[in-house]
């Protein structure tokens, strides 16, 4: 489907919009990746086990899921600029609270606040891009913006040798809080500028061309896809070590695949812009289907198969999120923040529940069974997205 640019003048496009969207997206997800990267040091000082760690991470995603719909509606009223400023403030506060945590309960509460920040940040960033970037460039913009997740994972990893092992894990959270807080202050200063930062009412989901019922399919598809993909990002290294990879090799594999995922999301976004007539949901379904094949390859006992499967899972099977957000804001262009908040419920809940269930299954039945199950979940996500496409086409007739 080709959608008109609805009055956006390319000459007046804010060139910094994509950068600001990426920064706020990274700031919103950085707290949870810092906890994951610094888990060894944090667990040693605060004294808690693997189950508590899983619960802490799940708290972030559950809070984000619960807050997604109301936060999306809030962004429609508040505007992208103020929304990003508020999200940055909450994220900085969460990381400052994490730096002062005295128990795993305190850390979980800090992550819950960070989850609320993420529930604000995602629809705010999507609204900003939708309002300020022409449709013909929107795919690349969302590819860059959705690179925030592997980008935050890399930053979390870099924080270990550069800050945590030298000054302590609390300093890593503290430095991140200071930087994010400074960015929040800058956003508050400029939030009254002309354009996307202005408070606006762009409409509701009921005003959109696409039916609200299609969002139900997409929310379920996002839940399943995120459940599989986030499990891959969470358990890749540990699974590789169990398969007798050296820890250093497993770490390098994770880093290389993270870089590959960043690149694939950008390239995919660029290619979507070059082929505006192609079905976005068809592309997403293919990516999820290829990802399911990658998980199946990882379920074997072959190191070569594991590496190939991880490559397919990361670089192809996890490349769909940028196109997913792009498709949402173009189908629901009159209320992009509200639509994002709706589907973000499924994405965040899947990202929290998926790794939790995957970990339980891996502990009881082994990684082979868990990766095979992830493959099934990714395939179901692919079929659900195809169901959403069929529903949209049926409603348009």
d(CA 236, CA 77): 40
Contact 177, 92 (CB under 8 A): yes
Alpha carbon 205 to its chain's center = 22
Using only C-alpha atoms, the chain has a radius of gyration, in whole angstroms, of: 20
The DSSP letter of residue 160 is I
Q: State the distance between the two ends of the chain, measured CA to CA, in whole angstroms.
A: 14
- CA 34 to each of CA 66, 82, 293: distance values in angstroms, whole numbers, following the listed order: 22, 25, 30
Whether the full predicted model's pTM is greater than 0.85, yes or no, is no
Please spell the DSSP secondary structure of 204-270, one letter per residue.
Answer: -GGGSSS-HHHHHHHHHHHHHHHHHHHHHHHHHHHHHHHTT--HHHHHHHHHHHHHHHHHHHHHHHH
For the chain, domains (ranges, CATH) are: 16-396 (1.20.1250.20)
Tell which residue, 149, 297, 309, 284, has the closest CA to residue 221.
284
Closest to 329 in 3D by CA, of 64, 105, 128, 40: 128
pLDDT in tens, the chain (397 residues): 434 334 343 433 455 777 888 888 888 989 988 887 787 788 889 988 766 777 888 889 899 988 888 888 888 888 888 889 999 999 999 999 999 999 999 999 999 999 999 999 988 888 888 777 777 777 888 888 888 777 787 787 778 778 877 888 899 999 999 999 999 999 988 765 544 444 445 555 555 566 677 788 889 999 999 999 988 877 887 788 888 888 778 778 887 888 888 888 988 888 888 877 677 888 999 999 999 999 999 998 899 999 999 999 999 998 898 888 888 888 777 777 788 888 888 998 898 888 888 888 888 888 899 999 999 999 999 999 998 888 777 766 5
Cβ pair 129, 21 in contact under 8 A = yes
Distance between CA atoms of 186 and 184, rounded to whole angstroms?
5
pLDDT at residue 6, as a whole number: 41
């Amino acid at each position: 489907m080709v959608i008109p640019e609805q009055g956006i003048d390319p000459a007046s496009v804010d060139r910094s919009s994509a950068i600001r969207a990426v920064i706020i997206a990274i700031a919103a997800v950085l707290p949870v990746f810092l906890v994951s990267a610094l888990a060894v040091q944090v667990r040693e000082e605060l004294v808690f086990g693997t189950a508590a760690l899983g619960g802490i991470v799940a708290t972030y995603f559950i809070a984000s899921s619960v807050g997604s719909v109301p936060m999306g509606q809030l962004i429609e009223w508040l505007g992208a600029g103020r929304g990003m400023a508020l999200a940055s403030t909450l994220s900085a506060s969460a990381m400052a609270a994490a730096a002062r945590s005295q128990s795993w309960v305190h850390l979980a509460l800090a992550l819950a606040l960070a989850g609320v920040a993420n529930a604000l940040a995602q629809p705010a960033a999507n609204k900003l891009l939708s309002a300020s970037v022409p449709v013909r460039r929107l795919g690349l913009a969302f590819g860059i913006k959705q690179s925030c997740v592997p980008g935050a994972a890399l930053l979390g990893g870099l924080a270990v040798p550069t800050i945590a092992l030298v000054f302590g894990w609390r300093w890593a959270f503290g430095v991140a809080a200071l930087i994010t807080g400074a960015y929040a202050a800058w956003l508050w200063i400029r939030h009254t500028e002309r354009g996307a930062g202005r408070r606006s009412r762009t409409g509701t989901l009921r005003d959109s061309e696409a039916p609200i019922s299609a969002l139900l399919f997409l929310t379920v598809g996002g839940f399943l896809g995120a459940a599989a993909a986030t499990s891959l990002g969470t358990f890749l290294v540990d699974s590789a070590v169990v398969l007798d990879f050296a820890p250093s090799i497993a770490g390098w594999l994770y880093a290389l695949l993270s870089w590959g995922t960043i690149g694939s999301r950008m390239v995919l976004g660029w290619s979507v812009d070059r082929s505006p007539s192609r079905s976005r949901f068809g592309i997403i379904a293919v990516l999820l289907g290829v990802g399911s094949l990658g998980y199946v390859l990882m379920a074997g006992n072959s190191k070569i198969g594991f590496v190939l499967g991880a490559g397919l899972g990361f670089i192809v099977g996890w490349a769909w999120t940028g196109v997913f957000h792009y498709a949402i804001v173009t189908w629901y262009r009159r209320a992009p923040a509200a639509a994002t908040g709706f589907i973000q419920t499924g994405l965040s809940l899947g990202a929290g529940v998926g790794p939790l269930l995957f970990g339980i299954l891996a502990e009881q039945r082994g990684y082979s069974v868990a990766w095979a199950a992830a493959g099934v979940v990714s395939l179901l996500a692919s079929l659900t997205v195809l169901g959403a496409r069929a529903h949209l086409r049926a409603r348009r007739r």
